[in-house]
């Protein structure tokens, strides 16, 4: 599922390790997948997910020193022509 895909990617990128509090045989399904990270990670591996297939995180590029601003103060009064020219 998409949740496990993200979990696996974060685990690999951050090189996290987990420990099972029980007997390393926890039930992992869509409803109970968050109860044991160790068993969830092991199930990802058993299902065929590969650590080497996870790509490195991409760096976000800032344009010419512009800072990222909140979208709540968007330029709602900018003319369409000016927006088109900027592209």
CATH number at residue 9: 3.30.50.10
Residue 8 counted as domain residue: yes
Residue 73 has pLDDT above 60, yes or no: no
On whether residue 67 sits in a domain, the answer given is no
For residue 15, report the phi and psi dihedrals to the nearest 5 degrees: 50, 50
Mean pLDDT in residue range 30-48: 93
81: in domain: no
CA distance 12 to 1: 17
> What are the φ and ψ backbone dihedral angles of 73, each rounded to 5 degrees?
-105, 45
The domain total for the chain is 1
Tell me how far apart the alpha carbons of residues 53 and 83 are, in angstroms, rounded to a whole number.
Answer: 39
- Which pLDDT does position 75 carry in this prediction? 52
Report the C-alpha gap between 55 and 58 in whole angstroms: 9
What is d(CA 49, CA 43) in angstroms, rounded to the nearest whole number?
A: 9
How high does pLDDT run on average in the chain?
81
Q: Which of 60, 58, 50 is nearest to 9 (CA)?
A: 50
pLDDT band at 56 (very low <50, low <70, confident <90, very high): confident
Answer whether residue 70 shows pLDDT above 70.
no
Total-model pTM: 0.62
Contact status, residue 17 vs residue 58, Cβ threshold 8 Å: no
């Amino acid at each position: 599922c998409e949740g496990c895909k993200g979990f696996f990617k974060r685990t690999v990128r951050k090189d996290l390790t987990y420990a099972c509090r029980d007997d390393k045989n926890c039930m992992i399904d869509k409803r109970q997948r968050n109860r044991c990270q160790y068993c969830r990670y092991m199930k990802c591996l058993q299902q065929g997910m590969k650590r080497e297939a996870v790509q490195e995180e991409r760096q976000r590029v800032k344009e010419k020193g512009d800072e990222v601003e909140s979208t709540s103060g968007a330029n709602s009064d900018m003319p369409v022509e000016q927006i088109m020219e900027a592209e």
